[in-house]
Amino acid sequence: MSQVVNVAVIGCGIFGAEIALKAKALGLSVKVYEAKDDILSGASMNNQNRLHLGFHYPRDLETGRQSIRGFNAFRQKYAECIQADFSNAYLIANSNSLTPIGPYIDFCRQLGLPFQEISASSLPVKVTGADRGVLCDEVVYDCRILRDLVWQNLRREGVDVALGDRVVKVADAAGRYSVESQKGSRILADVVINASYGDINRLTEQLGFPVSENLYEYTAVPIIRMDIPRIGITIMDGPFMTLLPHGKTGNFLLYNVTQSVVTSGVSKLMDASWQMRETAPFAKVDKRQFFKKMIALCSEYVPALEQAELVGFLEGPRMVLARKEDSDARPSIVNNYNGNYLSVFAGKIDHSIWVADEVGELLKAKFAA
C-alpha cells in the first residue's frame, strides 16, 4: 500500500523548505522531494545572494513591496547567515540608464524605507561612470550557512526529505494525487505543492492545467577575490553590473546583466539539459575568456576589478516572467489550480517567508473543512 500524506512538496529550495516547515507546523504530514543531492543547491544558491528591499526594481514597485514584506522576517529567522556589515550602494549610470537619478530617488521615497543620497566619490572604492545614487540597508546571505540552518529546522520538525529523487509523474487518484518519483517510490497526497522552480510547468501541464511561457536563463556569476573594503556596488538601471560580498566567505560575487546570462529562451518548459552542469550551456564556455570579458565590462565602473582573482563560479538556470523587459518585474506568485494542486512561481528569496504564510493559510482552510 502506498504511503499517504497530507502534503507533498516538490522541490527543496528555500521556497519548498519554508512551505514544508509551515505545513508541518500546522500538524500536517509532509513529504518533500528534491531532485538534487542536497537542499538549497539550485536557484537558492546560484544567484547574487542578496536580500532585496526593492531598490533594484525602480520600474516595478510591486516587486519592491513583495521584498519588503518578507525581508525582516527572513533576516530575523536566519540571522546567523546574514552579512550586513558593509556599505551597499545603488548608483545610476551617467549614460544609458532606463531610470534617471531624479525618478530613481522618487522611487526610493515611494518604497518608504531609509536610504541616504550619496555621490560616488564618497565611497571607499573608486567608481567611474556613475556619479550619484543611494546607500540602503539591503544585506546578503551566506547560502551554505543558510542551508545548514534550514536542514536543522527540517530535521528538528521531522520533515521527510527525499534527496536525489525527481518527481516524474503526478496524477489524479480518487480524490488524492498519486506522486511517482524517479527512484520508483509512489505516495498519495491530499495536496501537492510544486515548488520545483524552473521545472514547475512540466508537472502542471502533465495534469492538464494551462501553463504560460516563461523566460529561462542560464546564468554564471564569478566568485572573485579582491583586496578592497567589503562593499556592495550596483550600477543602475540597465545592462550594467553588481559587486557584492559573497556571504561571509571574504570573497565577492560579480554580476553583469548581459554577460552573466550565458543563454536564454522563452518557452513553456525549460531545456532539461540545463539541470545537470555536465550538459548545461556553461559547460561549453571558455571560462577564462568569459571572465576576461566580464572584467572588461565591469571595470569600466569599478576600475579595481582589473586586479580581481577568479575563485570559481555560481551557475544555474533562472526563471522569470516572459516579456517583462520594460518593467523588469520579479514577483512571486502562488498559483492555486483547484485547492489541491498549487505551484509557486518564485521571485526573490526573501519572498519565501510570505509565500509560505500564504500557502499555510490555504492549507489551514482546506484541512479545517
Q: How far apart are CA 271 and CA 257, in angstroms?
A: 21
Residue 327 has a pLDDT of: 84
Rg (C-alpha) for the chain, rounded Å, is 21
The model's confidence at residue 325, banded by pLDDT at 50, 70 and 90, is confident
Mean pLDDT of 81-106: 97
Mean of the pLDDT values across residues 105-123?
A: 97
Tens of pLDDT, residue by residue over 253-278, are 999 999 999 999 999 999 999 999 99
What is the reported pLDDT for 1? 55
Give the model's pLDDT for residue 369: 65
Q: Is 119 helix (H, G, I), strand (E, B) or coil?
A: strand
pLDDT at 363 over 70: yes
The residue count for the chain: 369
Per-residue cell: 119: 555621490
Domain at 1-84+141-211+330-369, CATH class: alpha beta
Residue 205 confidence (pLDDT): 96
Average pLDDT over residues 333-346: 96
Query: What DSSP assignment string belongs to 124-148?
Result: SS---S--EEEEE--EEE-HHHHHH
Percent of the chain with pLDDT over 90: 95
Sorted by where each begins, the domain ranges of the chain are 1-84+141-211+330-369, 86-136+213-321
Mean pLDDT confidence for 187-212: 96
- Residue 2: pLDDT band (50, 70, 90) is confident
Homologous superfamily of 86-136+213-321: D-Amino Acid Oxidase, subunit A, domain 2 (3.30.9.10)
Separation CA 235–CA 219 (nearest Å): 19
Asked if residue 12 has pLDDT above 80, the reply is yes
Give the list of residues 6+ apart from residue 193 with CB closer than 8 angstroms, or none: 7, 8, 9, 10, 16, 19, 23, 342, 343, 344, 359
Least confident of 77-86, 177-186, 322-331: 322-331
Backbone angles phi, psi at 26, to 5 degrees: -85, 0
Least confident of 56-70, 99-113, 254-268: 56-70
Q: Does residue 202 contact residue 274 with C-beta atoms inside 8 Å?
A: no
User: pLDDT band for position 180 (50/70/90)?
Assistant: very high
Nearest to 228 by CA among 299, 312, 305, 131: 305
Across the chain, mean pLDDT equals: 96
Instruction: Judge contact between 322 and 268, C-beta under 8 A.
Output: no
pTM beyond 0.75? yes
Tell me the pLDDT tens digit for each residue of 204-224. 999 999 999 999 999 999 999
